[in-house]
A and B are shown apart, each in its own frame.
Chain A
Amino acid sequence: MRYLWILFLFFLLIITVILSDFIGSVRIPILNLLEIYGSQIPFLSNFIPHGYTLAQEQIIVQLREPEILGGVVIGASLGIGGAAIQSIFRNPITEPYIIGLSSGASLGAVSSIVLGLTIFGIYTQQITAFVFGLSIVFIVYFFALRGGKVHPTYLLLTGVAVSFFVSAIVALLLFTNINLQGEAFFWLLGSLEDINWTLLFPVAIVVLITSYVIYLQHRELDAIQMGDMHARAVGVNVERTKRVTIFMVALSVSAAVSISGLIGFVGLVMPHLSRMLLGGSNKHVIPASGILGAIFLICADDIARGIVPGVVVPIGIVTGIIGVPFLMYFMRKLTGGRYEG
C-alpha cells in the first residue's frame, strides 16, 4: 500500500512537471510540447515530427525545463535532507538549515556579491555559497564533538549559535554595502529563475548520489529516532550514521541552495506530510519527502511566475504564504488533529 502511495506521488510529480511546462508568458500547444520532449530523446528524435518553432523549442528547452527540473532537484534535496535531519535530532521542528547550511551559504553568496569576487567566473556566487555552506556545517559538527560523539541537543545548540554568528556577519556586510542589498536580498529569498543546464547538471548529480546514500541509511535513521542508546543496543553504529548523514545532507543542500538561494519551509514540512500519508519509517518517509518536496517547489515556482504578470516573485515568499495554510489544512484533514510528529 505504501509503495502504491509512492508510485502515485511519482506519477503526480511527472504530471506536475508537464503541466508546469505550460505556464509562462508564451503559450505552447500540448502537441508541440510533446514533440519537443520527443525530440530530446536519443534515437526517437528522428521519428518525431517537428511542428514547433525554434523559439518554442528554446523557451521549453533552455528556459522552462532547467527551471522546472531545478525545482525537482532542489525540492527533493530539501525534502530528503529534512527527513534525515529530523531523524537525527529526533525533533520534528528541525530542518537542514539548522546545522548552519543556510547561514553559511548566505555568507558565501553575499560575500561574493559585496566583494565583487570573480575567481570562478560567472559561477563565483554559486561556488562560494556551496563552499561556505559546507564549511559552516564542518565547523558546527566539530564544535559539537565531545569525546568522539555528537549529542543531538549539543549539535542543535551549536548549529543555532554558529548560525546566529554567521548571520550577524551577513547582516553587517549588507548594512555596510547598502547599494548591493537588492541583489543579495533576492538570493536570500530564493528563486529558480536563473537556473540553466550548466548549473543544474553538476548539482543534480550531487543530489542524486547523496540522496541515494541517505536512503541507504534508512534503517539506521529509524533506530536513531528511538534514541542513540537504543540504536546502539540493536547494533547500529550511531556515530558513523550521524557523520555520514550530516555530511551527505550538507553536500546535497549546499549544492541545491547554491543555485537557487535560500528556500525555506520545504525541508521542515515535507517530512511531516510524508509521515501523515505513509507512517514514520524512513524507508517510505525519505523517498516520499523527496517527491513531495519536488512537487511542492514546482507548484510554488508556478505561482511565483504566474501570480503577477511579467514579475517573478521570490519563491521563498510563496513557499511561506502558500505552504503554511496548506500544511495546517493537511494536518487537520489527514489526522483529525491528532498528529504527534
Chain B
Amino acid sequence: MKVELKGVTYKVQSFSLGPLDLSIEKGTITAIIGKNGSGKSTTLKIIHGDIRPNKGTVKIDDSAVSSMSSAQLADRTSFVWQEIHSPMSFSVRDVMNVSGYLRGSEEGRMSEALESVGLLSFIDRDFSVLSGGERRLVTVAAAIYQDSEIMIMDEPTNFLDIDNQILVYNLLRELRKRGKTIILTLHDLDAVNNLADSVLILRDGKKVAWGDTRSTLTVENLNKAFNVSFHTYDTVNGSSFVGSYRG
C-alpha cells in the first residue's frame, strides 16, 4: 500500500510541522530521523490519523486517512507506540489478543509472532512484570500479529540491548520482503543507513531532506539536522561510515 502526504502542516502552541510532501512506496522501509522534539512522532501520528493536520491530506492508496473509520484504518495500518499503558493484570496473551481484535484471535499466528521476537515462552507471563525491552518486543510482535499492510513504529528499538536491536532490524527486513510498508523513527543512524530505503530528516518541524537513503543520509544534511559535527570515516573492514563521535 502506498502512503502519500500532500502539503501537510500542523501547528500546536509554538511548534509547527511541515509543510510535508512525501510519497512512500509499498514494500519499503522509511525512516524518520531528527533531534528530540523535531516532529518525528507527530509525523507518524499524522500518517496514522491520530492527529489531524491543519492543512494538507494523508492518503493510503488514494483513500484519505481522515475519512477512514478505526476499523478501516486498523485493517491497513498497525502502530508500535513509544509508550504503552500497562493494562491491569494483563498477560502477554491478553496484550496479543487486543491486537487480534479485527482479524480474530488465532493461536498459530499469535505463537508465530511471539516466536519471531523470541518471546513465545512468555505468552502466559504477566505483562506488567516484563522489562522495558521485553515489553517493547511484545508490542512489536503484537503489530506483526495485527497483520496490516503498513506498519508504523515509533522508536521500536528503545530499551533493547544490541542483540534484540539486531533481531528487530532483521525482522523488519523480513517484513519488507513480505511486502509490508514500514515507516519508523530511529535514533541509530548506522541502522538507518543499513536498513531504510528512504529517509526523512526533520529539524524543528521543518523538512531538512527527504529521499532515498544513499543520497539523503549525507554529512551535510545530518549537520543541518543536529547540533553536532558528522564525519565520514572508514571502519576496520574498510566500509565508509557516517558518525559524530570518534573519542
The count of chain B contact residues (Cβ–Cβ below 8 Å) is 30
Report if A279-B78 is in contact (Cβ < 8 Å); known contacts: A226-B98, A233-B48, A234-B98: no
Cα–Cα distance between A281 and B84 once the two chains are bound (Å):
17
B88 sits at the interface (CB 8 A): yes
B128 sits at the interface (CB 8 A): yes
- From A86, A234, A276, B99 is in contact (CB under 8 Å) with A234
Stretch at the interface among A17-25, A235-243, A300-308: A235-243
B236 sits at the interface (CB 8 A): no
Report if A234-B102 is in contact (Cβ < 8 Å); known contacts: A226-B84, A226-B85, A340-B128: yes
Q: Interface code B37-73, partner A: CB below 8 Å = 1, 0 otherwise?
A: 0000000000010100000000000000000011101
CB distance from A331 to the nearest CB of B (A): 12
Q: Which residue of A lies closest to B143 (CB)?
A: A233
CB distance from B181 to the nearest CB of A (A): 16
Which residues of chain A (220-258) have a CB below 8 Å from chain B? Answer: 220, 222-223, 225-227, 229-238
B91 sits at the interface (CB 8 A): yes
Across the interface, do A280 and B101 meet the contact criterion of CB distance under 8 Å?
A: no
Q: Which residue of A lies closest to B102 (CB)?
A: A235
A64 sits at the interface (CB 8 A): no
Q: Which residue of A lies closest to B78 (CB)?
A: A233
Cα–Cα distance between A281 and B96 once the two chains are bound (Å):
11
Across the interface, do B70 and A225 meet the contact criterion of CB distance under 8 Å?
A: no
B81 sits at the interface (CB 8 A): yes
B21 sits at the interface (CB 8 A): no
Cα–Cα distance between A280 and B50 once the two chains are bound (Å):
27
Cα–Cα distance between A189 and B8 once the two chains are bound (Å):
58
Q: Which residue of B lies closest to A90 (CB)?
A: B85
Cα–Cα distance between A161 and B141 once the two chains are bound (Å):
41
Across the interface, do A234 and B146 meet the contact criterion of CB distance under 8 Å?
A: yes
Report if A237-B88 is in contact (Cβ < 8 Å); known contacts: A219-B101, A223-B98: no
Kindly list chain B residues whose C-beta atoms are within 8 Å of the C-beta of A233.
48, 50, 70, 73-74, 77-79, 81
Kindly list chain A residues whose C-beta atoms are within 8 Å of the C-beta of B88.
86-87, 90, 92, 225, 275, 280, 340-341
Interface centre among B69, B88, B94, B102 (most CB of A within 10 A): B88
B90 sits at the interface (CB 8 A): yes
Q: Which residue of B lies closest to A340 (CB)?
A: B128
Q: Interface code A300-341, partner B: CB below 8 Å = 1, 0 otherwise?
A: 000000000000000000000000000000000000001111
Q: Which residue of A lies closest to B81 (CB)?
A: A230
Which 7 pairs, one residue from A and one from B, show the smallest C-beta to C-beta distance? A235-B74, A280-B89, A225-B87, A235-B102, A275-B89, A280-B90, A233-B79
Could you pull out 5 A-B pairs where Cβ atoms are within 8 angstroms? Answer: A226-B95, A234-B146, A237-B69, A280-B87, A338-B129
Other A-B contacts than A220-B101, A230-B84, 5 sampled, CB-CB below 8 A, are A92-B88, A225-B85, A233-B73, A235-B70, A235-B75
